[in-house]
Structure 1
Amino acid sequence: MTGHLSETLTLLLIEDDDGDAFLVEELLNEADAPPKIFWARSLKEAKAKLTPQIQCVLVDLSLPDATRLEALEEVLALAPHTAVLVLTGLRDAHVGVAAVQAGAQDYLVKGDIDARLLARAIRYSMERKRADLAQLGLVQAELTAKENSRLQNALLPSPLLHTQAIEHVTRYLPGSGGTLAGDFFDTVQTPDGSVHVVIGDVCGHGPDEAALGVALRIAWRTLVLAGQTDDTLLRTLDALLRAERQTPEIFTTLCMATITADLRLARMRVVGHPPPVLVRDGAVQVVDGTPSGPPLGIFADAEWPVIDVPLGEDWSMMLYTDGLIEATVGERDELLGVEGLLDLVREHGTIDLDRLITRVGKLSDDLAAVLVRRRRS
């Protein structure tokens, strides 16, 4: 009977018995599209012939340089993404079952095979390997998603606020690559009534940068709760960044503001970060005098002067990462930029994070934003 291999495959046969190898080749030559077969008499020979072009390996478990499942383990280690079909003797059928349990896709008893059965077993082995790899990919994707979720929860915590006089809104969107970045933010109100807000961005993308963002965010919260809200805080964060970063090129931008208890003044330090947007008594503008100093991790003796921002009675303030102003807008996919952001806020008449986000197009970087607004009494 003709075997059902309708496309030309590339196989590797590992068999030290010339007669058995000839039989397998003859059966496979009966297929509609006879496969290209490489033959190895030992595991040593197989290592040299096991290239990425091999789609299925047929391996006898009685080889001169490997015994039983040792041969299978070697093949699985050498070709983790290739289907493996085990060939056994009549008296070793139980070994075939053990081989499948150890990772082979299927097994055949040499004395019981014909062309159709062999072709079907090869096809089945390849499809099962694809399914196994797909399932493994789904599991890995699920684990990655859970890990990203844990990191995001650490990067983007719940605010510690006990006042009802401030509206607090945050948004976070991952960039187009889907890789978690080091954007972070936090808000803490201290016993004196002051409200402290930070938003930051560790340069780069990936788990190392995200973990560094978590460390900086937690350190910032700890220092604020301990009463450190001035240059000591920034110098401590700078020292932590230098100690924890993977390479000396990694730096971090951030913006932090301390809003006084009467909610009429914000004392800000803008550390190499995009300027906050302020809506004050109906006027839309960026905070003047920004940035107040370079990013963390660049200059050991850097200074970050305080920017005093009078707020008045009616105000909204948005801190954000550069993923927002580097997003595209319009039919021509132009970068939004700071001026474009101000135009959108003026168009809306207020800072509405959801409306802003719906207006931007493709994100090249993570987008994080914190809006604080004095509630009207």
Structure 2
Amino acid sequence: MSVPVPGPRAAPPGEARTLPQPRTAAQFDGGLSLLVIEDDPAGVLSVPEMLDASGKPVRIRTARNLTEAERLLTDDVHCILLDLALPGACPEAGDGGEDGAAPDTLETLRQVLRLAPRHAVLALTAETDVERATEAVRVGAQDYLFRDELDERVLSRAIRYAVERKRADVAQRQLSESRLRAQENARLERGLLPTPLLEGSDLRFAARYRPGRSRALLGGDFYDTVRTPDGTVHAMIGDVCGHGPDEAALGVELRIAWRALTFAGLSGDELLSTLQRVLEHERANEEIFATLCTMDIAPDGGSAGMFLAGHPTPLLVRPDQRLPLLLPYEDGGPALGLLPEARWPRHDLELGSEWSLLMYTDGLIEGRVGAGTQRLGQEGMAELIGRQFGEGLRGEKLLDAAVTEVRDLNGGELTDDVAVLLLDRG
């Protein structure tokens, strides 16, 4: 299914924050640009003229305070030179904080780092203040310079070193964020893609899940299959509207709740009503809903009860039928979360002695067929599965072939998540 930025360069809630990488020293086609933040009424501080590697003059801007610095801090600034003697950055000795605590002599640096999280920063201080200079690097500056050493050669080298080091820091941070996202994906995948509990059943199980191309995280598709002590096999597949981590987490919650309620003896309308209450309690807003299809297969495997909550109807394949059968949808109920007092009637099915049951989310049927706007649809999917079934494909091979062909018909990866569950008997 398809659904305020506080502070500078903040990422919208729920999105992975990726900082633009500073350019390397070899990529400054328009020349280097340096922002100097200092308040020197006596004019003692003098920034030397410099040339970059291509022979172009280094552009220098000067700000007397952080307000001016914020206005001058445009994307073409490559490095910031902050004078730690800026008023407010170096309180006079003895000016303790609350309760006599030592003053924070690097607060201005911290403000600059918050103001310019993707810029390289150099700290400028007196030669006698080595301890504060090294502390500035620990706080987040890329390097420090002594005021008495501020010549063209030293400053030019320091700028290039600072930019390259900042680029390496950003790259390392993005790598760490990617690893964290991968770990989160793995945790979500373990919840969304469970191990079926079918011990003692002669049914064969196969499933496939493919996230849509536009998302780094898993979407809201989920499924599960369990066998209860009475021998009944219960299968379920569902889809939470939306594609973000909140929807994926809600899908995990619904799947776990379904498994727990099923083992507790609930089924059909009673189970779906309880799941709806779970969804209403856990969803982020009232517009979130979930479609669901459940099948309760009798212990002998010859019959089943089907419950639909706004979900596409399953596909039944039998050797005595030329084409797969789309199970009836007429007795289906609404998606979970749409109607407070909804009911979901049972539809009884005769399966036979040998059959294959395909349950899927709508991502499998919403892909395009060719370059036009025509969708595959349920009928097109039934024809596709019937042809592959006739070619002798079964189980995992059938699902792999089906998902691959649907993707190829679409002309590339599908935009929606795809989950497919297959149960075989005989």
Shift of the 347–330 alpha-carbon distance from structure 1 to 2, 3 Å rule, reads farther
Instruction: Tell me the SS of whatever aligns to 1:19.
Output: coil
* Structure 1 residue 274 corresponds to structure 2 residue 312: yes
User: Any conservation in 2 of the 1:275–1:290 contact (CA below 8 Å)?
Assistant: no
* Structure 1 residue 115 corresponds to structure 2 residue 115: no
Partners of 2:420 and 2:331 lie apart in 1 by: 17
User: Any conservation in 2 of the 1:289–1:307 contact (CA below 8 Å)?
Assistant: no
Q: CA deviation at 1:290?
A: 4.7
User: Any conservation in 2 of the 1:324–1:368 contact (CA below 8 Å)?
Assistant: yes
Q: CA deviation at 1:165?
A: 1.0
Shift of the 37–59 alpha-carbon distance from structure 1 to 2, 3 Å rule, reads same
Give the letter aligned to residue 213 of structure 2.
S
Unaligned runs of 5+ in 2: 1-24, 91-104, 408-412
Shift of the 6–220 alpha-carbon distance from structure 1 to 2, 3 Å rule, reads closer
Q: Give the match for residue 367 of structure 1.
A: 418
User: Any conservation in 1 of the 2:206–2:423 contact (CA below 8 Å)?
Assistant: yes
Partners of 1:212 and 1:9 lie apart in 2 by: 49
* Structure 1 residue 144 corresponds to structure 2 residue 184: no
Q: Give the match for residue 357 of structure 1.
A: 403
State which of 10, 15, 19 in structure 1 corresponds to 2:43. 19
Task: Normalising by structure 2, report the TM-score.
Answer: 0.82
* Structure 1 residue 323 corresponds to structure 2 residue 363: yes
* Structure 1 residue 28 corresponds to structure 2 residue 50: yes
Q: Give the match for residue 297 of structure 1.
A: 337
Q: CA deviation at 1:175?
A: 0.6
* Structure 1 residue 155 corresponds to structure 2 residue 196: no
* Structure 1 residue 49 corresponds to structure 2 residue 72: yes
Q: CA deviation at 1:323?
A: 1.1
Partners of 2:51 and 2:201 lie apart in 1 by: 80
Q: Give the match for residue 202 of structure 1.
A: 240
Structure 1 window deviating more from structure 2 (248-257 vs 57-66): it is 57-66
Q: Give the match for residue 186 of structure 1.
A: 224
Instruction: Tell me the SS of whatever aligns to 1:187.
Output: strand
Unaligned runs of 5+ in 1: none
Q: CA deviation at 1:145?
A: 1.2
Q: Give the match for residue 275 of structure 2.
A: 237
Task: Normalising by structure 1, report the TM-score.
Answer: 0.92
User: Any conservation in 2 of the 1:59–1:86 contact (CA below 8 Å)?
Assistant: yes
Instruction: Tell me the SS of whatever aligns to 2:383.
Output: helix
Q: CA deviation at 1:334?
A: 5.1
Instruction: Tell me the SS of whatever aligns to 2:43.
Output: helix
Q: Give the alignment's Cα RMSD to 1 decimal.
A: 2.2
Partners of 2:320 and 2:183 lie apart in 1 by: 42
Identity %: 49
User: Any conservation in 1 of the 2:39–2:64 contact (CA below 8 Å)?
Assistant: yes
Between Structure 1 and Structure 2, how many residues are aligned?
Answer: 371
Shift of the 170–275 alpha-carbon distance from structure 1 to 2, 3 Å rule, reads same
* Structure 1 residue 9 corresponds to structure 2 residue 47: no
Partners of 1:242 and 1:30 lie apart in 2 by: 61
Partners of 2:325 and 2:32 lie apart in 1 by: 66
State which of 115, 126, 134 in structure 1 corresponds to 2:163. 126
Partners of 1:30 and 1:321 lie apart in 2 by: 57
Partners of 2:331 and 2:377 lie apart in 1 by: 16
